[in-house]
């Protein structure tokens, strides 16, 4: 069965609202600047976070999405701290979003890897992407919230097969693809600053790993490390569970 046309170029799926920006904010902005249709999907509302409320975090997520120039952002109410590829409803949410948005690429953005949800999301995304291909599976799916508010999702395709299923690389791993984010690093930082409840230690805030000023330096260190390996100033890196098919040498150089 031939697929319909792709609905977006890239769908980035994360457990919490700031994960996409931490892991892949520069790439998201780069693609948006190039005219690509990019969507974000946050699986939980972050209700177990040490700081901020789900409503505050959603407002921050909307502001960050606007800075990154993405086409839209979804947020679901899956249980924070209990993301699992063994949950049929969680797999259904991922598969349904894929069928509705029909992305060419889908990316799991779970870093840093110490949180159990971050460890679980790559497997959940892989399984959801596979199940999106099975036309016989038509699960009921809870509604999420959407930014911008006047946006609307299309109905689900009968089935959808992504060109590539990707995962953000952790430091020390070998990437399959680098994205040069040197020219958009300031935009990535601006998107991260939208999450004041998470990254600013402010009065009354609980101390966490990510509101320690050292964390932002660590994020830059990761990007400089990937950039050094790629031969650019700053980069982000992905594992890609696919390989391109060429008729000619690509325009970009290899590293």
What does the pLDDT read at residue 2?
Answer: 53
Lowest mean pLDDT among 29-33, 102-106, 210-214: 210-214
Query: Do the beta carbons of residue 157 and residue 124 sit within 8 Å?
Result: no
What does the pLDDT read at residue 64?
Answer: 98
What does the pLDDT read at residue 254?
Answer: 86
Checking if the pLDDT of 253 tops 80, the result is yes
Q: What is the mean pLDDT of residues 190-200?
A: 93
pLDDT in tens, 48-62: 988 989 999 999 999
Q: CA nearest 107: which of 39, 196, 168?
A: 168
Task: Give the predicted TM-score (pTM) of the model.
Answer: 0.94
Distance separating alpha carbons of residues 46 and 79, to the nearest angstrom: 8
* Confidence band for 1, pLDDT divided at 50, 70 and 90: very low
Checking if the pLDDT of 114 tops 90, the result is no
pLDDT in tens, 145-162: 999 999 989 999 999 999
Domains and CATH numbers, the chain: 8-240 (3.40.50.10320)
Residue 42: strand pairing partners: 14, 75
User: Residues of the chain with pLDDT > 90: what percent?
Assistant: 80
pLDDT in tens, 76-109: 999 999 999 999 999 999 999 999 999 999 999 9
213 exposure class (CB count in 10 Å sphere: 0-12, 13-18, 19+): exposed
Q: What is the mean pLDDT of the chain?
A: 94
CA count, 13 A, side-chain hemisphere, 108: 29
What does the pLDDT read at residue 238?
Answer: 97
Lowest mean pLDDT among 11-25, 107-121, 162-176: 107-121
Distance separating alpha carbons of residues 198 and 196, to the nearest angstrom: 5
Query: Do the beta carbons of residue 104 and residue 166 sit within 8 Å?
Result: no
Q: Is the peptide bond before 182 cis (omega within 30 degrees of 0)?
A: no
Q: What is the mean pLDDT of residues 8-26?
A: 97
Mean pLDDT highest for which of 18-27, 108-117, 201-210?
18-27
User: Residues of the chain with pLDDT > 70: what percent?
Assistant: 98
């Amino acid at each position: 069965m031939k697929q319909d046309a792709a609905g977006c170029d890239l769908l980035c799926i994360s457990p919490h609202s700031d994960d996409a920006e931490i892991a892949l904010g520069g790439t998201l902005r780069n693609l948006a600047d190039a005219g690509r249709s990019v969507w974000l999907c946050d699986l939980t509302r972050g209700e177990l976070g040490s700081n901020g409320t789900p409503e505050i975090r959603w407002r921050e997520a909307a502001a960050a999405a606007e800075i990154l120039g993405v086409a839209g952002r979804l947020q679901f109410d899956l249980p924070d701290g209990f993301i699992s590829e063994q949950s049929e409803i969680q797999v259904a949410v991922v598969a349904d979003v894929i069928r509705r948005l029909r992305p060419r690429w889908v990316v799991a953005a779970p870093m840093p890897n110490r949180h159990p949800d971050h460890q679980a999301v790559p497997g959940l995304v892989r399984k959801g992407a596979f199940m999106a291909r099975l036309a016989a599976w038509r699960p009921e799916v809870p509604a999420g919230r959407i930014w911008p508010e006047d946006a609307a999702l299309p109905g689900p395709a009968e089935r959808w097969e992504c060109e590539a299923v990707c995962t953000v690389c952790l430091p020390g791993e070998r990437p399959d693809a680098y994205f040069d984010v040197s020219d958009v690093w300031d935009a990535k930082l601006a998107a991260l600053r939208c999450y004041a409840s998470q990254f600013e230690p402010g009065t009354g805030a609980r101390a966490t790993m990510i509101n320690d000023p050292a964390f932002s330096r660590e994020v830059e260190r990761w990007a400089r490390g990937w950039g050094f390996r790629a031969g650019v100033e700053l980069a982000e890196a992905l594992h890609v569970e696919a390989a391109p098919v060429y008729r000619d040498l690509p325009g970009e150089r290899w590293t």
